[in-house]
Structure 1
Amino acid sequence: MMGAPRPGFGLGMLAAAALALLCALQALAVLRMPSAFSPSDITITLAPGHTIELGRAELAAPQADPRHLRLRRDSAGRWFVASASGMQGLRIEHGADGTKTRSGALALQAGQRFQLGAAQYTVETAHDGLLRLQDGAHTWEYDGALLRQDGSAQSACPQSSLGARLLGFWNRILPAFLGFERPLGFGGNLSCATTIGNPDAAPGSASIAFVDGVPTVFAASGSGRVPLLAEVDGLPADLALRELPLDDVSALGVGRTRLLAAIDGDTLRLQPVSRVALFPDTRAELPEGVSWRWAPRNSWLLPASTPWAGAFALASGLLAGLLAWRTVFRKQPALALRLGAGVALAIAGFALLLAVRAGQAPGAAPTLLLAWAALWYGLQLRRPNAVLTTGVLLLAGGLLLQLELGTAATDTSWMRHFQKTAAATTLGLGLTGLAGLLKARRPASQAQVEWTLLALACCAVVALLVQVGWGSETGVFDLQPVEFAKLALTVLTAHCIALGLGAGDTGSSARKAGLLRWLRLASPALLFIVLLAVALVQVDDYSPLILLLVWGAAMLLAWSLAARQRAATVALCLLAVGVIGAVGLLRATSPDDIAHWNFYGERFLVWLDPAAHPHTGQQLLLGARAILAGGWMGADGVFGLAALGASAPDALAIPAVQDDFAPSFFLNRHGLLAALGLWTLQALFLCALLGAALRAWSGAAGARDFRHAWQARFRCFVLCGGAAFVFGHFLLSWGTNLSFFPIMGQPMSFLSAGGSHLLFFIFPLLAFGAAAPSSKES
């Protein structure tokens, strides 16, 4: 007699069918990749005393200039390289000591002179972290963070953002070793902040920064540059065109293309390893003395690096060991298999991340197979679980989009976004599975949890300060500490709300003074303030502010509903309605009415009238054209099925199409009807998070032990906070791409190129969702 179907069995089958369909589309995209070729080696033969100029076509470097570099050999046979026109710089790596140099740069010494336009500058002091120079009218002192004119610190520039003013104020009141580094710039009519005015040159025509403690002047590149003349070997020379020796060279950087280099007598051999142009056939017009050796694009390429093979061997060993231990000693082979698979996937994902970082990633097919293993592993981790199910399907959709971008591109760099997303997916789902399967023998006490949260908050603050000091708005060391800080802010706030709502049940121990009370009351507010400060200082748009406001309003709403504060609930709902009305009124505002705004006024002007700003509004205009071309059923009329593996030059021309404007490519390739399906899946994911939060809240209400009640409330508000941040990403990304809002640089969760947002926020959120009781268990 057949047994009754398990609860959620139909949902599991439907999710498996949807995942199988997405995997089939990914496989079709790989199989339909057109034949493409790229140069595996570029050989340049040059006799002593001769010169040759190379550029984009000769070096297969898509981002290089038509005349990018000039190679010369002197009468003694030594090789020299220089920028051919000064439009872009060059990067040179030396193999013996690992040093890196770049064209247009010169280390300054006492007594050295350089000239920009009519202004001449003489270096008086250049040591001990201090640069002093004079231009005949003033004496300038620069310590890497602050610029003083005749002994007085300069005030902020009139058009400086609030973040720049805050940085300047910080650097003025604190010692130099605690200040944040800001480069010294030259150009413009006004001397302010860390800028020395020069009416003969545009702002940013030259700059000075400390490199390994040595003040170094950098010449600007570009068509409108003013030559920066500096004394080199006793003679004045245009620094941007200065020749550099290629002694013991190991690599050259041209545009965004890196070429491994080796000199063999009269021959310079270059091996392109990143961002290499792809060609439909093995034909190219090359000058005399330049030859290519062609290589076809290989979707099944396997890396031969030892770390990759070692990582897989370690993963396999751990899998076999765990399986044997669980089978022989614990009699739980199924659990052992899941644990071993999680460990193997986590190690393989981490190894793939390192391989991508080192430029040794495998081809599209092996990467896709590894991602498939992670996706199916995540789908079967815990059934039924709507959070994991919808999350895995969204991850599969994002992988498909990034794979389509890689197959549609005309250079090799776009596939790196898919490889990085696949690596993050494999690592994250492996760790998520381990977090869900490995249970502590003894639950942690509340004090242990609070100390852990305090350490988490400290790490987040330190990481944010490191980004401000040594990074940029794109992150630091190829990571985004902001994503980790959002996770820390969510769990800290959830902990405080959980304690506050259960204050009457926890007894006197919950009212202890000291460090733990400070954690409950002050650390979330401190982390929130630090996040706001970083957003103002580092980011050139206001999207992090909007994201934090959306999250804050959502957490207030969750607290007011849980605490039954009806007045606060009504006030927040009215505020949301008012914000929607304000956006509508702003959309109807005349550009002349906001032309005088200092708070990101240019972004609003571009949003209201992009045709009048074709350069700054390029992203908005190109995105709108791509969406219009997609229509209801995609640009090919069959939801992108016919275009799988095909090129898409118009859509790829959109700036940041792999990140902020990934939805525009999705709408262009698959159409509005497919976007409706994606919106539905995103809404189901948010509903699954909120449903898990409601079940946790119900569990807290029925718990007899205050610790269990606190843990359930904590889980509830972590899920609410995570859902708020994800909703904010969805809202800002769709609003930006569909022109509901001015352009704001926020990636779309799951769909955009993976990285820090996936590893530091999405996967911990999925782990919380997987740990929450399912509807069957609650």
Structure 2
Amino acid sequence: MRAARLVAGAILLVLCALQGLALLRSPPMHMPARIDIQLAPGAAAELGRDALAVPGSGAGLRLRRDEHGRWWAASADGALRLERAGRQTRSSSMVLAPGARFHLGAQHYTVDAVDGQAVRFSDGRQAWRYDGASVWRDGELLAACPGAGPGARLAGAWNRWLPRLVPVLAIERPLGFGGNLSCGTQVGNAHAEPGSAVLRIVDGAPLLTAATGSRRTPLLVERGGLPFELALAEQALDGVSAITIGRTRMATDLRDGALQLHPTSRVAVRSEARAALPEGVRWQWERRDPWAWPAWATPFAIAAVAAGALAFAMALRTRVRGKLPDAARLGAGIALAVAGLAMLLAQRAGAAPGVAWSLLLCWGALWYGLAWRGAGAVVACGVLLLAAGLLLQLELGLGAPDTSWLRHFQKTAAVIALGMGSAGAFASRRRVPGGIPMIQARAESLLLLLAACALAALLLQVGWGNETGVFDLQPVEFAKLALTALAAHCIALGLGGRTGTGSAGALLRWLRLAAPALLFVVLLGVALVQVDDYSPLILLLVWGAAMLLAWSFAARRPGAALAVAAMAWACLAMLMVLRGAAVDGASGWSFYGERFGVWLDPAAHPHTGQQLLLGAAAITGGGWFGADGIFGLTALGQGAFEALAIPAVQDDFAPSFLLQRHGLIAGLALWTLQAAFLCALLHAALRAWQGAVLARDFRHAWAGRFRCFVLCGGAAFLFGHFLLSWGTNLAFFPIMGQPMSFLSAGGSHLLFFIFPLLAFAAAGAPVDGGARPIIEEN
């Protein structure tokens, strides 16, 4: 064990050295700290994105200063957003008042009334009413659109009945104009593309917004009897605190007759502090400082140290001989968690410290994880996988032409500090004397609470979120953890010959057995309703098959194991048949048929097959030894522009960048490490099962079985992620993609699934030669 820990430490040292070398070798980058724009009264100017340090293609900014000195701004594509008093609005939006008129194609609309809760308008033939959630035509509520998914129908049914009693519970749904049908929350207009205009109720006022894009029908609004295109409307900059062009946010300041813009997010960087600027525009340059330390960070750093010291002192009060290291680990874990949380909040506020501080923080978190007492091979392999992922995200950030890519690395580093610190504190607390051991009844209550929270989060995503999550979180990751824990509990009870304690009633026994099935059904619903892809369904099927296989071995039911093996061979045969199928045969299968068509022949679909084509080109360019021939060592910290062209390269296609930059041999090394991690999880599960078999108390036996199947379920989900991610990058599976665990830019997957699994594995690992289950008798 000591030799394995030394090997893991040596590999981690090499990965940290490569990260530090990448930071040291990155060329100096410059960007504008302030953009000064001078315009004489009555003059106008149109600035492209290059003059504003806005990366990407698209329209820039139209500026005008009237005779009275007021500044006006507009965007050629209507993508300009303005912030006033903390509230953000689009330049292509306007508040409708009674009597207002707007035109979409050949259709004219007139606003008849606005009563604070709804807006009434007409098109000369029909009268419409919209309250922010539902639409009525001539007094009749519109039915759901043909082909609407279960989520849209559920939201429509909810809005139809419940808000009449409690209006605040209505699910907001914007009203769209365009298309041939009037249904759901869509007003049909045969002369306009669907979604050409959108109407919402914001703070009791109807807000009309023109959609952006080349295929949208222009929305004309009358002002003073003359129509003008709303997407190109000018907005006064009086009282505006910030503007956003694309994804670049700039704080604004009107001073001494000049407009000053201070870029704060996603700013284009240049290797030299010079640029060709139009007349009247001047940049004040600043160099990207990896050691930048904002003033706000000092009190947070003091708070992190104080929290760690307080936890250390409280643990010392109950310590006995030999327990001082456990108290120190507890204090260090809490300090890391506080520091990681502060980093996350700083990034949300747009004032994160330099990348070097994030690198030091994640180094501390990684070495702290490797030093966990009783961590074992599971945590050691997890730490090495995290270090490899951080190296990849750092290379992407340093080689990008703008500052947004480094935010992925800094977010992942902050999440690792938060998760590793919290998990380490939990694992250390299990070793500190005075901790209260958990009995089975208390564990069951926590599992039911976990399931309720997971279900609530999933329903929240269905109602208010989309396939990317809700409130920047992915509830499905938390639901996977709850599903694994509940299923493990039920299997542990079933294998023990008990469905509950003697005092448990029929309802409690039903909840114990039905909760995993209910959660599984909800997960399937979310996968099919929220995501236009079947990869989550495949992920759940992989997990279900693996859990069935584990149960068959534990219960000595070979028939179930044979069924799983037959199903796996059938799926493999089906993929081989589909791979040889004709491309034209998938053309009539709607969205999923298109995915198969792209998979079968990506060259025939140059737009939708762009990920596969660019990913394949990157992998081919890497060869066995990387694009530079020496495993990417000379490319550390340098540009990665070709790889950045791959869509979602920081998430789904991170393996393609790894193979392009470091070569197929590095990919094989990563496969080996991933296999070792899965084997370590299964070995820990086997030890837990052996402990349950040898236990003389039924509570300890249940705890051993519970830990065994939690680790098996976690390994199954991780195997599914590895399989789908590699299958996507190497074109084995016709799916849109899944992030690769540990390697992709982390967030919810790391925080809500990976680190709880690592903490669970570490807290129940044997220490000092004895087995000590994570949950034991009081």
Question: After superposition, where does 1:220-619 map in structure 2 within 5 Å?
Answer: 220-232=211-223, 235-305=226-296, 308-324=297-313, 330=319, 332-383=323-374, 385-439=376-430, 441-504=435-498, 508-509=502-503, 512-514=505-507, 516-598=508-590, 600-619=592-611
Of 145-154 and 367-376, more deviation after overlay is shown by: 145-154
Q: Could you tell me which amino acid in structure 1 is paired with residue 324 of structure 2? A: P
Q: CA deviation at 1:324?
A: 4.8
Q: CA deviation at 1:235?
A: 4.0
Deviation digits for residues 574-607 of structure 1 (CA, Å, limit 9, x no counterpart): 1111111111111111121121113522111111
Is contact 1:44–1:289 with CA below 8 Å preserved after alignment? Answer: yes
2:643 equivalent among 651, 655, 662: 651
Partner of 2:698: 706
Residue-pair matches, total = 762
Q: CA deviation at 1:165?
A: 5.2
Q: CA deviation at 1:478?
A: 1.4
Deviation digits for residues 347-406 of structure 1 (CA, Å, limit 9, x no counterpart): 111111111211111222221111111101100102460110000000000000000001
Q: Could you tell me which amino acid in structure 1 is paired with residue 496 of structure 2? A: G
Q: CA deviation at 1:185?
A: 1.7
Is contact 2:500–2:509 with CA below 8 Å preserved after alignment? Answer: no
Of 620-629 and 322-331, more deviation after overlay is shown by: 322-331
Q: What SS does the aligned partner of 1:263 have?
A: strand
Residues 181 and 548 of structure 1, relative CA distance in 2, 3 Å threshold: farther
Residues 650 and 522 of structure 1, relative CA distance in 2, 3 Å threshold: same
Rounded to whole Å, the distance in 2 between the matches of 1:130 and 1:667 is 55
Partner of 2:81: 91
1:109 equivalent among 93, 97, 108: 97
Deviation digits for residues 18-51 of structure 1 (CA, Å, limit 9, x no counterpart): 0001001101100100121111110011121111
Structure 2: runs of 5+ lacking an equivalent: 772-778
Deviation digits for residues 709-747 of structure 1 (CA, Å, limit 9, x no counterpart): 111111111111111111111111111111111232321
Q: Does 1:674 align with 2:662?
A: no
Of 364-373 and 598-607, more deviation after overlay is shown by: 598-607
Q: Could you tell me which amino acid in structure 2 is paired with residue 56 of structure 1? A: R
Q: What SS does the aligned partner of 1:581 have?
A: helix
Q: CA deviation at 1:328?
A: 7.4
Deviation digits for residues 145-182 of structure 1 (CA, Å, limit 9, x no counterpart): 43344444445545555654555566567657555433
Q: What SS does the aligned partner of 2:734 have?
A: coil
Rounded to whole Å, the distance in 1 between the matches of 2:534 and 2:30 is 42
Q: CA deviation at 1:477?
A: 1.6
Of 191-200 and 35-44, more deviation after overlay is shown by: 191-200
Is contact 1:620–1:743 with CA below 8 Å preserved after alignment? Answer: no
Rounded to whole Å, the distance in 1 between the matches of 2:427 and 2:189 is 61
Deviation digits for residues 46-98 of structure 1 (CA, Å, limit 9, x no counterpart): 12111111121111000352x42211121111111111x2x24111112xx32
Rounded to whole Å, the distance in 1 between the matches of 2:519 and 2:114 is 39
Is contact 2:534–2:735 with CA below 8 Å preserved after alignment? Answer: no
Rounded to whole Å, the distance in 2 between the matches of 1:356 and 1:49 is 40
Q: Could you tell me which amino acid in structure 1 is paired with residue 558 of structure 2? A: R
Q: CA deviation at 1:336?
A: 2.3
Partner of 1:136: 124
Residues 526 and 213 of structure 1, relative CA distance in 2, 3 Å threshold: farther
Q: CA deviation at 1:464?
A: 1.7
Q: What is the identity percentage for the equivalent residue pairs of Structure 1 and Structure 2?
A: 61
Q: Could you tell me which amino acid in structure 1 is paired with residue 438 of structure 2? A: A
Q: What SS does the aligned partner of 1:561 have?
A: helix
Q: CA deviation at 1:329?
A: 6.7
Residues 542 and 162 of structure 1, relative CA distance in 2, 3 Å threshold: farther
Q: What SS does the aligned partner of 2:98 have?
A: coil
Q: Could you tell me which amino acid in structure 1 is paired with residue 34 of structure 2? A: D
Rounded to whole Å, the distance in 1 between the matches of 2:108 and 2:203 is 26
Residues 366 and 512 of structure 1, relative CA distance in 2, 3 Å threshold: same
Is contact 2:78–2:232 with CA below 8 Å preserved after alignment? Answer: no
Deviation digits for residues 553-579 of structure 1 (CA, Å, limit 9, x no counterpart): 222222222222222221121111111
Rounded to whole Å, the distance in 1 between the matches of 2:499 and 2:111 is 69
Q: CA deviation at 1:279?
A: 0.7
Deviation digits for residues 657-705 of structure 1 (CA, Å, limit 9, x no counterpart): 1011111111111111110110111111111111111111111111111
Of 495-504 and 341-350, more deviation after overlay is shown by: 495-504
Residues 208 and 325 of structure 1, relative CA distance in 2, 3 Å threshold: closer
Is contact 2:46–2:63 with CA below 8 Å preserved after alignment? Answer: yes
Q: What SS does the aligned partner of 2:584 have?
A: helix
Q: Could you tell me which amino acid in structure 1 is paired with residue 89 of structure 2? A: T
Rounded to whole Å, the distance in 2 between the matches of 1:640 and 1:80 is 49
Q: CA deviation at 1:513?
A: 2.3
Q: What SS does the aligned partner of 2:241 have?
A: strand
Q: What SS does the aligned partner of 2:590 have?
A: coil
Partner of 1:4: none
Rounded to whole Å, the distance in 2 between the matches of 1:555 and 1:126 is 57
Q: Does 1:756 align with 2:748?
A: yes
Q: What SS does the aligned partner of 2:725 have?
A: helix
Partner of 2:111: 123
Rounded to whole Å, the distance in 2 between the matches of 1:539 and 1:53 is 40
Of 392-401 and 460-469, more deviation after overlay is shown by: 460-469
TM-score, normalised to structure 1's length?
A: 0.94
Rounded to whole Å, the distance in 2 between the matches of 1:607 and 1:172 is 41
Q: What SS does the aligned partner of 1:589 have?
A: coil
Partner of 1:15: 8
Structure 1: runs of 5+ lacking an equivalent: 1-7
Is contact 2:79–2:212 with CA below 8 Å preserved after alignment? Answer: yes
Is contact 2:499–2:509 with CA below 8 Å preserved after alignment? Answer: no
Is contact 1:384–1:774 with CA below 8 Å preserved after alignment? Answer: no
Question: After superposition, where does 1:67-78 map in structure 2 within 5 Å?
Answer: 67-78=59-70
Residues 562 and 169 of structure 1, relative CA distance in 2, 3 Å threshold: farther
Question: After superposition, where does 1:177-188 map in structure 2 within 5 Å?
Answer: 177=167, 180-188=171-179
Partner of 1:51: 44
Partner of 1:216: 207
Is contact 1:68–1:88 with CA below 8 Å preserved after alignment? Answer: no
Residues 320 and 772 of structure 1, relative CA distance in 2, 3 Å threshold: closer
Residues 627 and 156 of structure 1, relative CA distance in 2, 3 Å threshold: farther
Is contact 2:374–2:765 with CA below 8 Å preserved after alignment? Answer: no
Q: CA deviation at 1:242?
A: 1.1
Residues 24 and 354 of structure 1, relative CA distance in 2, 3 Å threshold: same
Residues 240 and 43 of structure 1, relative CA distance in 2, 3 Å threshold: same
Q: CA deviation at 1:195?
A: 2.4
Rounded to whole Å, the distance in 1 between the matches of 2:78 and 2:661 is 34
Q: Could you tell me which amino acid in structure 2 is paired with residue 92 of structure 1? A: L
Residues 129 and 686 of structure 1, relative CA distance in 2, 3 Å threshold: farther
Q: Could you tell me which amino acid in structure 2 is paired with residue 117 of structure 1? A: G
Partner of 1:3: none
Q: Could you tell me which amino acid in structure 1 is paired with residue 81 of structure 2? A: R
Q: What SS does the aligned partner of 1:714 have?
A: helix
Is contact 1:166–1:537 with CA below 8 Å preserved after alignment? Answer: no
